[in-house]
Amino acid sequence: MIKVEQVYKTYINKHRNFLFFSETRQTEAVCGVDLYVNPGEIVGLLGMNGAGKTTLIKMMSTLLSPTSGTITIDGMDVVKDALKVKSIVNMIAGGERMLYFRLTGRQNLEYFGNLYGLRGSLLKDRINYLLSKVGLEKAADTPVERYSKGMKQRLQIARGLINDPKYLFLDEPTLGLDVSVAKRLREFVQELVHREGKGIVLTSHYLEEIEELCDRVYIANNGRIIMHDTPKNLVFNITHGNVLNIVVPEINDKLNNNLRTLIELHNANIEISSNEEGILISIKSKKDITTEVVQTIYNSNVNLISLYIEKPKLEDAILQLENGVA
Amino acid sequence: MFLTIQATFRRNYLVMRHSLPYTSIIGSLLSGFYMILFSYLIYKIMFNGKLDDSFIKYTGSSDYITFAVLGSTVYILSISVLLIVSRSLISELRQGTLETIFLSPASRQGYFLGCMLQGLMLVGIEFIGILVMGFFFGLDITNINPISASITLVLIIFSFYSQALVLGAIMVWFRDTYITQNTLITLMGLISGVSFPIEYLPDWLQYLSKIMPLTFGLVAFRETIMLGGELVSSFESISYLIMLTTCYFLIGKYLLIKVEKNILEKITE
């Protein structure tokens, strides 16, 4: 289990003012973060640019040390037991870097495998397995400089899995990938978690990806975790439920009164406008009151032209959070 | 550590095979040639092939050409080893692979040694090439003590390796290769006794030359080749060389740990 307890990270920078004069500035990148990740689950880390996501991931992967607080992985401290932790974690970042372009895909994996102490048939089998998993068997002996962006990203994934890590950090893994490659990657990530029981921390700007993959999501802002829940609960709590849209040809007094009573009863919001089909009634409620609304319309002797439910997405929730609505 | 040495050696070898750095080899050979030519012309034309007694007193030999050729050869060797090792980290940083190295539990020294040992494949060609050129100018190695010379050469290479760790840390800290390496290389060429004995330098520069492994390496190497000396006969130089190697190694190792943290923070910020 990854356990982050009261972790702070402060960067100290020197800013040159004029020739030899400089001033020291402190930037609080991470402030008192608590977080946990169990094996066999995908945890999302969301936030705006500069929220501290990458810093947090790099601290968990031993690349950076916390200024204060502790991070343990399976009971091992990421600072004191860095070497042991390094052998059970790995990181995959989006983009085309982290690979040697003049080497072939196989040679890259051989090198990184050696760095993790793998050799011989064990390494050979692992490389063949990973190359087939990411669909690069045919291009295995082609220099990486001739790979497409998607192929490089797939090789990155194979590199990140070369040591069969128990915990994997994915920092924008689908950045710049085309739709089909990104979809295959998401399927692969799910397979890693559900079949192989790996614990994954994922950051992504594609919120649908987070919503689709993650069991739990942490939302960071200015280095602090401001919310933590399942994607479904987050959306519900931030956006206050679904929007029920109903189109009717007319609204009589009976319907108007009955609807107002219902809305008051369920502490919901109602908006009435007109569109090409008729009169659009939008009801936003924490509880699903579709049945009651339909019954009310029926009892008021009004015909129902159409009905659809708008389910807010994580994107809507984050936008609301950003705008300070929530 | 051995697996990391082997892996890094192989990786760099594959990259080298993919694109052999002809220009670098030719550049080193030409540098060596110009240095020997420069010393030869000064000796023959300016000094008319004559040396005063002080040269013999300081070097124990009157063979200036051999003195200069050996100086130039080891100097070019020092530059190559220094650059191969010290630039390895900053190259990883520039090509975006530094984090993958630091992410792994691989030995850092294994990584640097792998870089150096592979680099020595090319450096060896340059070293032999410059020595061969030296023969045309009058290099005389008839007095050589091959075993002592070989051991001294290995010690010299490791002293440059240690010095390169410090240089590499400075390069990564300042994210600069050009100014840092050229300052050191020019200084080494001037004060380490490459073309003339350091005793000709002002006292304060002589003190400065004592922090350069090249200074003591050259004294010991020339002793084993020009005078056929045993290792014991250059005990003082070898002792200083080992002491400096140890100091540079420890400082370099310490600085690299500091730099590793610093650079990873700068990349992330």
Of B11, B106, B269, the CB nearest to A103: B11
> Do residue A119 and residue B100 have CB atoms under 8 angstroms apart?
no
Question: Which residues of chain A make contact with B265, given a CB cutoff of 8 A?
Answer: 11, 64
Q: What is the pLDDT of residue A18?
A: 67
- Least reliable range by pLDDT among A270-274, B95-99, B176-180, B239-243: B176-180
Q: Which long-range contacts (CB under 8 A, 24 or more apart) does A150-157 make?
A: A150/A177, A150/A178, A150/A181, A151/A105, A152/A96, A152/A99, A153/A94, A153/A96, A153/A177, A153/A181, A153/A185, A154/A181, A154/A185, A155/A99, A155/A105, A155/A108, A155/A109, A156/A92, A156/A93, A156/A98, A156/A99, A157/A92, A157/A185, A157/A188
Bigger pLDDT: B213 or A178?
B213
Same domain, A134 and A182: yes
- Least reliable range by pLDDT among A255-264, A299-308, B127-136, B226-235: B226-235
Please, are residues A249 and A255 in contact by the beta-carbon 8 Å criterion?
A: no
Same domain, A28 and A83: yes
Query: Quick one: tokens of B50?
Result: 């004559």
Query: Quick one: tokens of A120?
Result: 């011989």
Same domain, A194 and A304: no
pLDDT band at A188 (very low <50, low <70, confident <90, very high): confident
- Residue A326 clears pLDDT 90, i.e. is over it: no
DSSP sequence for chain B: -HHHHHHHHHHHHHHHHHS--HHHHHHHHHHHHHHHHHHHHIIIIISTT---HHHHHHHS---HHHHHHHHHHHHHHHHHHHHHHHHHHHHHHHHT-HHHHHHS---HHHHHHHHHHHHHHHHHHHHHHHHHHHHHHT---TT--HHHHHHHHHHHHHHHHHHHHHHHHHHHHHT-SHHHHHHHHHHHHHHSSSSS-GGGS-HHHHHHHTT-HHHHHHHHHHHHHHS---TGGGHHHHHHHHHHHHHHHHHHHHHHHHHHHHHHHHHH-
Residue A304, in any domain of the structure: yes
Please give the Cα distance from B194 to B232 (Å, whole number).
Answer: 23
- Residue A6 clears pLDDT 80, i.e. is over it: yes
Residue A321, in any domain of the structure: no
B173 touching A (Cβ < 8 Å): no
- Residue B245 clears pLDDT 90, i.e. is over it: yes
Report the residue of chain B nearest A62, measured CA to CA: B103
How confident is the model over A61-70, as a mean pLDDT?
Answer: 90
How confident is the model over A92-104, as a mean pLDDT?
Answer: 81
Same domain, A277 and A190: no
B13 touching A (Cβ < 8 Å): no
> Do residue A97 and residue B6 have CB atoms under 8 angstroms apart?
no
What's the mean per-residue pLDDT of chain A? 83
Q: What is the pLDDT of residue B133?
A: 85
Residue A262, in any domain of the structure: yes
Same domain, A156 and A287: no
Q: What is the pLDDT of residue A96?
A: 63
The boundaries of the domain holding residue A267 are 243-310
Report in angstroms the alpha-carbon separations of A316 from A37, A319, B268. Answer: 25, 5, 28
Q: Which of A211-215, B45-49, B236-240 has the highest mean pLDDT?
A: B236-240
Same domain, A133 and A19: yes
How confident is the model over B170-175, as a mean pLDDT?
Answer: 82
ipTM above threshold 0.95: no
> Do residue A116 and residue B106 have CB atoms under 8 angstroms apart?
yes
Residue A315, in any domain of the structure: no
- Residue A19 clears pLDDT 70, i.e. is over it: no
Q: What is the pLDDT of residue B260?
A: 83
pTM for the full predicted model:
0.79
Same domain, A228 and A123: yes
Question: Which residues of chain A make contact with B261, given a CB cutoff of 8 A?
Answer: 64-65
- Residue A116 clears pLDDT 90, i.e. is over it: yes
Which residues contact residue B107 at a Cβ distance below 8 angstroms, ignoring those fewer than 6 apart?
B1, B4
Same domain, A214 and A271: no
How confident is the model over A179-192, as a mean pLDDT?
Answer: 81
Q: What is the pLDDT of residue A231?
A: 75
Residue A326, in any domain of the structure: no
Please give the Cα distance from A205 to B172 (Å, whole number).
Answer: 31
Q: What is the CATH number of the domain that holds A274?
A: 3.30.70.870
Report in angstroms the alpha-carbon separations of B242 from B156, B161, B175. Answer: 9, 12, 29
Of A63, A86, A96, the CB nearest to B105: A86
pLDDT band at B269 (very low <50, low <70, confident <90, very high): low
Q: What is the CATH number of the domain that holds A183?
A: 3.40.50.300
Number of domains observed in the structure of chain A: 2
Q: What is the pLDDT of residue A109?
A: 94
- Residue A66 clears pLDDT 60, i.e. is over it: yes
- Which residues are registered as beta bridge partners of A68? A8
- Residue A175 clears pLDDT 90, i.e. is over it: no
Of A58, A115, A159, the CB nearest to B106: A115
How confident is the model over B219-227, as a mean pLDDT?
Answer: 87
> Do residue B96 and residue A13 have CB atoms under 8 angstroms apart?
no
Residue A200, in any domain of the structure: yes
Question: Which residues of chain A make contact with B19, given a CB cutoff of 8 A?
Answer: 102
B17 touching A (Cβ < 8 Å): no
pLDDT in tens, B69-84: 889 888 888 888 888 8
Same domain, A275 and A161: no
Same domain, A154 and A60: yes
CA distance B100 to chain A (A): 6
pLDDT in tens, B3-26: 899 899 888 888 887 777 778 778
Q: What is the pLDDT of residue A95?
A: 66
> Do residue A115 and residue B10 have CB atoms under 8 angstroms apart?
no
- Residue A33 clears pLDDT 50, i.e. is over it: yes
The proportion of chain A whose per-residue pLDDT surpasses 70, expressed as a percent, equals 92
Q: What is the pLDDT of residue A149?
A: 82
Q: What is the pLDDT of residue B215?
A: 92
Same domain, A177 and A264: no
Question: Which residues of chain A make contact with B101, given a CB cutoff of 8 A?
Answer: 115
Helix (H, G, I), strand (E, B) or coil at A1: coil
Q: How many residue pairs bridge chain A and chain B with CB atoms within 8 Å of each other?
A: 85
Residue A73: which of A91, A59, A54 has the closest Cα? Answer: A59
Bigger pLDDT: A295 or A322?
A295
Same domain, A104 and A74: yes
pLDDT in tens, B126-158: 888 888 888 888 888 888 888 988 999 999 999
The proportion of chain B whose per-residue pLDDT surpasses 90, expressed as a percent, equals 14
> Do residue A115 and residue B104 have CB atoms under 8 angstroms apart?
yes
The proportion of chain B whose per-residue pLDDT surpasses 70, expressed as a percent, equals 99
Q: What is the pLDDT of residue B93?
A: 85
- Give the start-to-end residue ranges of the domains of chain B: 2-268
- Residue A87 clears pLDDT 80, i.e. is over it: yes
Dihedral sign, CA of B192, B193, B199, B201? negative
pLDDT band at B247 (very low <50, low <70, confident <90, very high): very high
Q: What is the pLDDT of residue A325?
A: 46
Please, are residues A67 and A52 in contact by the beta-carbon 8 Å criterion?
A: no
What's the mean per-residue pLDDT of chain B? 85
Q: What is the pLDDT of residue A324?
A: 63
pLDDT band at A297 (very low <50, low <70, confident <90, very high): confident
